[in-house]
Amino acid sequence: MRRRRVSRVATISMHTSPLDQPGTGDAGGMNVYIVESAKRLAELGVEVEIFTRATARDLPPVAELVPGVLVRHLTAGPYEEMDRGDLPGQLCAFLSEVLRTEAVYDPGRYDVIHSHYWLSGQVGWLAKERWGVPLVHTMHTMAKVKNRLLAAGDRPEPQARVVGEEQVVSIADRLVANTSEEASELIDLYGAERDRVVVVNPGVNLTLFQPASQGAARHRLGLPRDAHVLLFVGRVQPLKAPDVLLKAASRMLIDDPSLRGRLVVACVGGPSGNGLARPSFLAELATELGISDVVRLVRPAPQEELADWYRAASVTVVPSYSESFGLVALESQACGTPVAAAAVGGLRTAVQDGVSGLLVDGHDPSQWARALRRFVTEPRWRDQLSAGARAHAAAFGWQATAVHLREVYAAAVANLHRVPVAVSNF
């Protein structure tokens, strides 16, 4: 049985650049996914060209991320950061630049398109038709899922996005889901054909995120050696629910005032999405709750520094209302720090309940306070979770993700040319 070799992938990430700092604006886990999987694909001999929108006038048209991975900055709309809601108006301009780039080369430059998020899927749909290559698409988040699990006061995703996602699902040759649960959502909520949905778990950089001295990490970050550190990492917006952590910490201090001298609540990230409407929300909430003295608000950190935050933490808290996977949870566990996460979406895969962390039902701050107090008062149990966290994360490397993606690409190309190729499904 002949397998068609995939040599070059056109990766489309219209609304956020893989070079942007995760944790602010629209940059998050998807950026990490694109960068890390592209690097590993290049190591496997698959070249990757990432098409993204230029957000500054001085960006080079083409930047080499690593050998075998190029980032192409395309002009589509104003250079300054645009609200994601305004990006659909730039689809035509962005698509035109994508097609113009390919047209300067001989036909057949790209073997497959991999689009990320629904806006990129719309671009990929038309490029697929023009180039005669298969489209592989990863949703990362889905409007129908988010709208079922809205935080209080959060705005639902618009119907235009729902329709756009449905169109991408119907046209894509392969749909890559992060977990089996996400695969089921694509089938049940969007009517995706089962044989076009493939589960590929995201990974973690096990070289960068690994255990090291907690005391040394705390010294570098200016944290007391004997502190109880509750850590939140991510974009500050209602969906990610950092307010749940602050309210839970307030409840912990009410229940046990003696904790105040040692408790540190660290939130590493910047406002994003609906959170941009109130960029000082967390600071105001800390003041309102009377816990400003224990809360540290930290700007988004590069990954090397982020690893120190994970190592310094007693527990990493991920109280999101919706997560397609939850890379923060995996990064923390790889550093040996257990996780308390909401029992939603991909977090049920990223965290092994009772082994590498705790899954918490709902978003009641009192319930979260009880869960988090265990990490403070039961050090022997926490140490057991720490060992389980390291073991659990070790099974998720980006190399495995890249190998599986290469199989998905080959299957999509082979199917387009009617050459049967087996690929593992869910």
Q: Where is the binding site, in residues?
A: 15, 21-22, 26-31, 84, 117, 141, 161, 235, 240, 310-311, 313, 323, 331, 337
The answer to whether residues 77 and 98 touch, using CB atoms and an 8 Å cutoff, is no
Alpha-carbon gap, residue 218 to 213, rounded angstroms: 9
- Helices 91-103/118-131 angle, 10° precision: 40
* Residues flagged as binding site for 1D-myo-inositol 3-phosphate: 15, 26-31, 84, 117, 141, 161
* Residues flagged as binding site for Mg(2+): 310-311, 313, 337
From first CA to last CA, the distance across the chain in angstroms is: 22
Alpha-carbon gap, residue 297 to 243, rounded angstroms: 12
Residue 382 in tokens = 């926490």
Q: Tell me whether residue 296 is exposed, middle or buried, using C-beta atoms within 10 angstroms of its C-beta: 0 to 12, 13 to 18, 19 or more.
A: middle
Q: Tell me whether residue 362 is exposed, middle or buried, using C-beta atoms within 10 angstroms of its C-beta: 0 to 12, 13 to 18, 19 or more.
A: exposed
The answer to whether residues 242 and 282 touch, using CB atoms and an 8 Å cutoff, is yes
**DSSP calls for 160-205:** HHHHHHHHHHHH-SEEEESSHHHHHHHHHHH---GGGEEE----B-
Alpha-carbon gap, residue 31 to 38, rounded angstroms: 11
